[in-house]
Amino acid sequence: MLKQTLALAGLALSLSANSAIVDSDMDGLLDNDEINIFGTDPHSADTDGGLVIDGGEVSLGTDPLDPGDEPSSQFLPLSISILGGPFEIAMGDSLTVTAEASGQLGVFTFWDIDTSDNNFYDAYTLTTTVDWESLAPFLVNTGDTKQIHFSATDFYGNQASTSAVVTLVGITAPEVPIPAAAWLFGSALLGLAGIKRKK
């Protein structure tokens, strides 16, 4: 009985701790905050059903529990662009890729699908670091490419996506070390040549 009680207490503690860092419905509000601060449903992105997600309403100053006070739906379309480029990587290196979103209401989620980097609160840009090791299965020969995908969602649930292309550069054949036996053989030949000259 004691083991079961401790197991249940541990599970409850784990779930409570998890809710402090998890956003189950991806609405820009952590589960713990939805339950304890805003009174919204942590499993429904739009608690009041008013077409703007809970995190969007909190950011815009409207009530996520009142479907009658939704902000205007007239806004600039959501778009994402990659800053900089071209993106080239060599074996053993890393590089950063930055994507930027634009839209009148901003973006509540923005993530790099391939590396699971995400950015909920500084919502207009996301910079991710890509290292050679993570791309090695895809980039084998010089000129091989891999797309790094980004996706964003605005407060109304509209989505946009784009990708950056990373190209592998500078692959060179590794130097092959001369085996010790070859050095010994060369030394022997030089020694024989020296002996022959003395005669």
Give the DSSP per-residue string, 147-174.
EEEEEEEETTS-EEEEEEEEEE----PP
Burial class of residue 197 (count of CB atoms within 10 Å of its CB; 0-12, 13-18, 19+) = exposed
Provide the token pair at 3.
Answer: 């083991």
Q: Give the pLDDT confidence of 112-153 residue by residue, as tens digits.
A: 666 666 665 455 778 888 888 888 888 888 899 998 888 877
Asked if 138 contacts 110 with a C-beta cutoff of 8 angstroms, the reply is no
Q: Which range among 8-17, 18-27, 118-127 has the greatest average pLDDT?
A: 18-27
Whole-model pTM above 0.85?
A: no
* pLDDT > 60? residue 18: no
Q: Which residue has the higher pLDDT, 9 or 92?
A: 92
Residue 72 above 90 pLDDT? no
In sequence order, the 6+-apart residues with CB closer than 8 A to the CB of 127 are 96, 97, 98
The residue-averaged pLDDT of 151-159 equals 76
The partner residues of 88 in beta bridges, in order of sequence, read 167
Give residue limits of the domains in the chain.
2-69, 79-168
Task: For tokens 């923005």, name the residue.
Answer: 110
User: In angstroms, rounded to a whole number, what is the distance separating the alpha carbons of residues 42 and 32?
Assistant: 8
Residue 151: predicted pLDDT: 82
Fold of 79-168: Immunoglobulin-like (2.60.40)
* pLDDT at res. 37: 92
Of 122, 119, 118, 107, which is closest to residue 160 (Cα–Cα)?
107
